[in-house]
Amino acid sequence: MPSSRLCLIIGILCISIFPVLVKWTPVSGITSAFYRMFIGLLFLLPYLLISRKFTVPPKNLWLPVMICGIIFATDIAVWNLSIHYSNATQATLLTNLSPVWVGVGAFLFLPDKPKPAFWIGTLIALAGMVVLIGPEAFTEMRFDKGFLLAVFSGILYAAYMIISKSVLNKIDIVSFMAVSMAVSSVYLLVVCVAFRQPLWNFTPAVWSVFVVNGLICQLLGWLTISYATKKLDANRVSLSLLSQALVTGLFAWIFIDEKITPQMIIGGVIILIGIAVTFTVRTITPKTNLPSNKW
């Protein structure tokens, strides 16, 4: 059985390259989101056919699984659009406030309530985000379309983490991902057609980026993160994803020559300290919530 924390680390590494690819590729954010889901699904289908491990979800789970697919697809598209309407800094900051929404949602709707260590770690990690991005990101924020889209993306992100946590206790991971990604693909295709977004005539370099997005960022990244979500608290996983900003910064420095400042390093260290605090207290999950089958 793989370590849930190791899977979380692998997942964060996989999804952290996505913002760099989005910035580098001159393609519509909605189109990029569609091919991320669709190509990821195409890579997953042969495994399902050969292994025959696909399990049809029970009738009572079809609706929440489909909702997960729509919410996640919308989150990816909205996040991409928020970058175009504002800037990557503001969009990243506001989207990564999702742990706060997850903590509130978990407190209201999940049996496993956030422990004091979570709230302490959240405050530390958010302070690290402020240092990483800079206080001027707050003082210069405008309540424009980009701001609202980024906030909406963070709320969608939190909703996905909470709903998927409850679903994954009742269905295996691969089956959940297959149905969710199929719903996401159909949904985003309809959105692309409705808004007349380009779907073909791309260069080989762009198609290669789509393949990386689908295989690495979506399939491998979210299979491992979904496994971690099932085994760990949704709020803890969401807070850990704050480190995506740090890892993305490193990838941007390596691949597109963006600068890493001492401020970014200090902020990243503070974020990691905040995440570590949330793991100092072991969460005891009630027996009634333990999954009967492996994800």
Q: Find the mean pLDDT for residues 146-158.
A: 83
Q: Give domain status of residue 143, yes or no.
A: yes
Our count of domains for the chain comes to 1
Q: Give domain status of residue 115, yes or no.
A: no
Q: Find the mean pLDDT for residues 253-274.
A: 77
Query: pLDDT value at position 127?
Result: 84
Q: Give domain status of residue 277, yes or no.
A: no
Q: Is the pTM of this model over 0.75?
A: yes
Q: What percent of the chain has pLDDT over 90?
A: 31
Tens digits of per-residue pLDDT, 90-143?
666 667 667 677 777 777 776 767 778 778 887 887 787 778 767 776 666 655
Cβ proximity of 8 and 225 under 8 Å: yes
Residue 9: CA count within 13 A, CB half-sphere: 7
Q: Give domain status of residue 128, yes or no.
A: no
Tens digits of per-residue pLDDT, 3-21?
888 999 999 899 888 877 8
Query: pLDDT value at position 292?
Result: 31
Residue 64: band (very low, low, confident or very high) from pLDDT cuts 50, 70, 90: very high
Q: Give domain status of residue 159, yes or no.
A: yes
Mean pLDDT of the chain: 80
Q: Find the mean pLDDT for residues 252-262.
A: 76
* Rounded CA separation 206/36 (Å): 12
User: Which of the two residues, 246 and 185, has the higher pLDDT score?
Assistant: 185
Residue 23: band (very low, low, confident or very high) from pLDDT cuts 50, 70, 90: confident
Q: Give domain status of residue 288, yes or no.
A: no
Q: Give domain status of residue 224, yes or no.
A: yes
Q: Is the four-CA dihedral 53, 54, 56, 58 of positive or negative sign?
A: positive
Most confident of 15-29, 34-48, 148-162: 34-48
Structure-token pair, residue 105: 């949602």
* Rounded CA separation 14/18 (Å): 8
* Rounded CA separation 230/44 (Å): 20
Tens digits of per-residue pLDDT, 50-59?
988 898 999 9
Cβ proximity of 214 and 181 under 8 Å: no
Q: Give domain status of residue 173, yes or no.
A: yes
Percentage helix, strand, coil for the chain under 3-state DSSP, each rounded to 5: 75, 0, 25
pLDDT higher than threshold 80 for residue 251:
yes
27-31, 91-95, 113-117, 188-192: least confident range = 91-95
* Cα dihedral 136→139→144→150 (10° resolution): 60
Q: What percent of the chain has pLDDT over 70?
A: 81
Domain that residue 212 falls in? 4-108+136-231
Query: pLDDT value at position 87?
Result: 58
pLDDT higher than threshold 60 for residue 78:
yes
Tens digits of per-residue pLDDT, 196-243?
999 999 999 999 999 999 999 999 998 898 888 788 876 677 667 767
Residue 284: band (very low, low, confident or very high) from pLDDT cuts 50, 70, 90: very low
Q: Which residue matches tokens 């989005």?
A: 22
Cβ proximity of 133 and 266 under 8 Å: no
